[in-house]
Each structure stands twice: as C-alpha cells, then as structure tokens.
Structure 1
Amino acid sequence: MKILFIEDDPMNRRVVKDMLDVAGAEMVEAADAPAGLAAIEQQDFDVVLVDLRMPGMDGMEALRRIRARDDAKAQLPLIVVTADTAVDLRQRCLEAGADEVMFKPVAMDSLFDTIGRVLATRGGDIIL
C-alpha cells in the first residue's frame, strides 16, 4: 500500500511514517499542499492523508483541488488528519471532499482502522 501524507510538521510526518512502516506500507511525504498535489500528479497512491493547517495553501483547498481533477485521481481516498477541533470541522471537510477526518495525536490503531474503513467503504482491498 502506498500512502501520501501532506503535512508541514516533520515530527508528525515521522510519527505516522513509523506507524505505517510497522504495517509494511510505503509512505511518501509532502511538506506542503503544492508538493502533495505535485506528488499526486507524478505517482499513484492508495490513500492520501491531508493536514488542514499549512502555510500557503491549506488542506481544505488541497482537498477541493484533488476532487476537481478530471481523471481517476479525483476519486482518491482522502483522510484529513488535524488538530483542529472546531464543532463543524468534520462536516466542512466532508463537503470539501474528505472521506474521513482523524484528530491528532494519531494513534496507530485509529490510523489503521480509519484507513481500513475508508477503503472498505470504497470497495478497495484492505492491506493494513
């Protein structure tokens, strides 16, 4: 399984990478939304994890741009990973194109469960 994590904080990327390594998943890192969008253009991913609060382009805009693509990549499974706890946040993320929302700090069992649930909902193979 190949997962893209769009996240500006290197420590958060490292923690999630260590978790995914345990499951044998490959994680590609993007330090900001433009780099993440470029990675999606150049590579194929099974799942994309997206932080919301990043300098420049935020995660909501990245979600909208991915969903606005005119190819199969517009249907990538997208999971928001955020520390934001605004009351209407989950709904706003879903409206922007997210399949699910996870809250930081990320726990390994929650990460695997969420990825598995999103892939199962979409009819994909669950490899974690």
Structure 2
Amino acid sequence: MAALRIFIVEDNPTIRDSLIPTLEDLTDAEIVGLAEGEDEAVRWMQAHPGGWDLAIVDLFLRQGSGLGVLRRGRSGGARQSMVVLTNYATTDMRRRCSEAGADRVFDKSNDLDAFFDYCNAQAPSR
C-alpha cells in the first residue's frame, strides 16, 4: 500500500509540529514537502509536479496567501487534491477557496475528524 504523499503549506511552526505527527499516526501519509509562503509553495509544486498527492494549504501565510497557492499551484495531476485547513472557514471564504481551486475546506477547530477521513480516502491504493 502506497503512502499518501502530502505537501503542507503552513507558516505556523506550532501547527506544523502537531499536524505532521498526527497525519503520520492517523493516516498512511508521507510528508514530502513543506512551505511557509505562497511563492515558496508554488516553486516547490512546480518543481515536483508528480511528487505529491495532497496539498494542505493554510490561508494566511508568511508571504502571499493560500488563495494564491490554490490558483497557481495545481500541476494538473488527475489524482492530486488541494485542501484548505484554516481557522477562517466562513461561508464566503469557503466559496473563494472553491473558486481558487480547493477541493475541500476544513475548519481547524471543527472539521478535524472530517479532514482526517478525507486524507484517508485519498490514499493512492483506495
């Protein structure tokens, strides 16, 4: 069974430091890359077009925004998914994320079970 290759775009080290081991414990995931800003994330995604299955993107980044990552980062892989994990999952923001290319939007406070279920459902062998 192949691991889900995850690229994380999150500038908060505390969140990254808790998200990574939790993903590795609760999903069959391999973290293949990290970025803290929009330009860094897009450069990584373009340099590794087939190197990731799931991008987890926060909206507010050290440089740029998660919306910019969503708009610019998709490499066209049919099996690739981009989701937003944010504390700002308002109805308007969910719409904007969807328009920018997000497959799903999850609230960090209320949607974590659904988020991990989604990650598990994206595993390549499923």
TM surpasses 0.5: yes
Change (3 A) 1:30 1:17: same
What letter is aligned with 1:101?
V
Greater relative contact order: 1 or 2 (C-alpha under 8 angstroms, separation 6 or more)? 2
Query: Which residue in 1 is equivalent to 2:76?
Result: 72
- State the identity as a percent: 30
Q: Which one of the candidate residues 98, 104, 119 is aligned to 1:100?
A: 104
Query: Which residue in 1 is equivalent to 2:85?
Result: 81
Runs of 5+ in structure 2 lacking a partner?
none
C-alpha separation in 1, matches of 2:111 and 2:91: 21
**CA RMSD after TM alignment:** 2.4
Change (3 A) 1:11 1:106: farther
Runs of 5+ in structure 1 lacking a partner?
none
TM-score (norm 2): 0.79
4+ residue segments displaced more than 3 Å = 105-109
Aligned residues: 119
1:13-92 to structure 2, matched below 5 A, reads 13-22=16-25, 23-27=27-31, 28-43=33-48, 44-67=51-74, 72-73=76-77, 76-92=80-96
* Structure 1 or 2: more helix by fraction: 1
C-alpha displacement of 1:108: 5.6
C-alpha separation in 2, matches of 1:91 and 1:115: 21
